[in-house]
Each structure stands twice: as C-alpha cells, then as structure tokens.
Amino acid sequence: MPETPHTAGPAATAGPARAPRTPRPGQEHVARAADGGGLGAVDAVSTTDAPAGFWREAWRGMRRRPLFWVSGAIIVLVLLVAALPDLFSATDPRSCVLANALDGPTGGHPFGFDRQGCDIFSRTMHGARASVTVGVLTTALVVVVGTLVGALAGYFGGWADTILSRVTDIFFAIPLVLAAIVIMSISRDRTALTVALVLASFGWTNIARITRGTVMSVKTNEFVTAARSLGMGRTAILFRHVLPNAAAPIIVYATVALGTFIVAEATLSFLGIGLPPSTVSWGGDISQAQGAIRTNPEILFYPAGALALTVLGFIMMGDVVRDALDPKARTR
C-alpha cells in the first residue's frame, strides 16, 4: 500500500493556535505617534554659523548674571567720579570755613561739614581720584612685572625658573603693607606715582606665581608643539600663543587686586605716610574723622562708605569674571 507523502510546512508543524494574551490592568502599552519631522529635522546642525570663541562664551555667561551689571554700574560710577569730580560737586574740597565745623546737611552740602568746616560731599567726590589713580597704576605695574616674571619662569624652566622662583619667594615672604610703611616713612616724594611704585614693588608676587603655573600648563598643548614644528622661535611662541591662552587667570586676579591696592593706599594715607595732607583722599579723610567718631560718626561714614563700595564693586566683578573664564565653573 503506497505511503501518503508527508508535507512539511507551517501547517504541518504548527501546534494549536494560542489565544492572544490579555494585558493585566496597568500593563497597557502606549505607543507615541510618529514624529512627522523625522530624525533629520531633530539632529540637524547649522554649518553656516561661526563657532563661538572662548571670550564670546565668557561674555555671554557674564551678561546673564545680574551681579555683573550691578558691579559694572558701581565701577563705571566710581571711574566717572574719579575722572570728573567737578561734574558732581562744584565746591572746592580745600575751601574750609571753621564757622561751619560739624554742621549738618544744608542746601548744596548734602553730607554736611567736617571738623575743619570742609564740605564732606565735595571731599568724598574728589577723594576718589587719588585712591583710584593709585589702584590703577599699581595694578598695571603688577600685571606687567608679575606676568613677565611668571611667564619666563614657567615657559623656559631650568635655571631661569629656579632663579626667578627663588626671587619671587623672597619678595612673597615680605608683607606688602609693612614693606610699604617702612619705605614710605623714609621717602620724601609722596605722590601717587611713588605710592604705586612702592606697592607694586612688593605686590607682583601673587600674579607671578599664578602666571607661572598657567604657562606651564599651556605650553604642553598641541598648538604649541605645532608652532614649534613650523619653525617659530620660543619667544614668539610665548608671546603669540602661550600668554594669550594664559590670560584668563591674570585678568581675574587683576580685577580683584585693583580693589586691594585701593585699600592699601587708603591704609597708608590713614597712617599719615601715604599721600600728603594737601591731596584729597579717602584714607586721609578717614584719619581726620576718627577723632569725632563718637560724637559725629557720619564724618567717618561717608569716605569709608565710598571706599567700601568701590572695593565691593571690584570684588564682585572679579567673582563674575572668574566664573565666566573658568570652564569648570561654567559646567557646574
């Protein structure tokens, strides 16, 4: 009897049909509708826009912070007062009438008069010029000297690094204010330039150490190796490639240091060894007002408040600049 041929296929091997599984409550699957735009529209990247540079990104980060605008407004106001004090007060700060001594505020004299009968508002406005001038000059000298010493030590290394680092350590061990007091006490020329030179002579060490460490980090990057392979000299590489890429911490320190040097000048003038009494300055006015601090504290409050507000503005700006120029701070 012939055998019936066996037909292989799904119908022959398939078992009994399985009923569709009914999902339990809470296990229903929800499918999202397909995006009509497609992945290409989502992942499209514009190739025509120029990439934002480091400084542009820093500017974008700063202008978004209210602290930047507050500190900027304070700094602009202080600089404007220092440059054009007559724009805010037409009264001569050296014109004093003893009959007006310790009088309160009157018309045209909103802060009243000090013990010598001088207009406190006028002296506060004109005192900004001397203090800010010393701070700006000292900061400029410190940046030039400290950057040069730190860059040479960090980039060339070897014996140059050893000598410059030991010299920096010697000056770093000398307290800034104490050294300035000793030198200014024996100095006959007590101008703003003299005070700036004395402060800069002992205040450049911090920025030198900062610059040295930054330059040592930058000089190992690939673009420095590429410039060296193209035949560029070591000095050219230092000033064209290394220093521009190491400028961020230098700018941050200079912003904060400016307020520090303004305080140092006020300290010397307060002790009577800074600017001469003929020069109107906040430190000199604070020194003269300390005798009446119990009876008339407002005489001390106005120049001290102007000094504190100025330093606060530069410190806040330094914090904003530091956060903007620090890539790690921007990613946090």
Considering only CA atoms, give the Rg of the chain: 34
Q: 301: how many CB neighbours lie within 10 A of its CB?
A: 16
Does 177 reside within a domain? Answer: yes
Report pLDDT for 196.
Answer: 92
If the chain, 332 residues long, is cut into consecutive pieces of 10 residues, what is the mean pLDDT of each piece? 48 52 57 51 50 71 86 93 87 81 80 84 90 92 93 89 92 90 87 91 92 89 84 84 86 89 90 85 87 80 91 89 70 48
Report pLDDT for 73.
Answer: 94
Does 15 reside within a domain? Answer: no
Calculate the alpha carbon distances from 314 to 204, 217, 291 in Å.
18, 28, 30
Report how far residue 1's alpha carbon sits from residue 16's, in angstroms, rounded to the nearest whole number: 31
Does 52 reside within a domain? Answer: no
Report pLDDT for 248.
Answer: 85
Does 116 reside within a domain? Answer: yes
Please provide the DSSP assignment of 83-100 as one string: H-GGGT--S-TT-B-GGG
Could you tell me the sign of the dihedral formed by the alpha carbons of 41, 42, 43, 48, in that order? positive
Domain of 194, in residue numbers? 81-86+112-316
Name the helix (H) or strand (E) containing 193. helix 192-203
Report pLDDT for 12.
Answer: 46
| 35, 39, 43, 45 alpha-carbon torsion, rounded to 10° | -100
- The number of distinct structural domains making up the chain is 1
Does 231 reside within a domain? Answer: yes
Distance of CA 143 to the CA centre of its chain: 13
Calculate the alpha carbon distances from 22 to 18, 31, 43 in Å.
12, 17, 38
**Contacts for 74-81 with beta carbons within 8 Å, 24 or more apart?**
74/309, 74/310, 74/312, 74/313, 74/316, 75/313, 75/314, 75/317, 78/128, 78/132, 78/309, 78/310, 78/313, 79/132, 81/125, 81/128
Does 122 reside within a domain? Answer: yes
Does 43 reside within a domain? Answer: no
- The amino acid at 34: A
CATH number of the domain at 276, please. 1.10.3720.10
Report how far residue 327's alpha carbon sits from residue 99's, in angstroms, rounded to the nearest whole number: 60
Residue pair 256/314 in contact (Cβ under 8 Å)? The answer is: yes
Name the nearest CA neighbour of 201 among 246, 137, 248, 250.
137
Does 73 reside within a domain? Answer: no
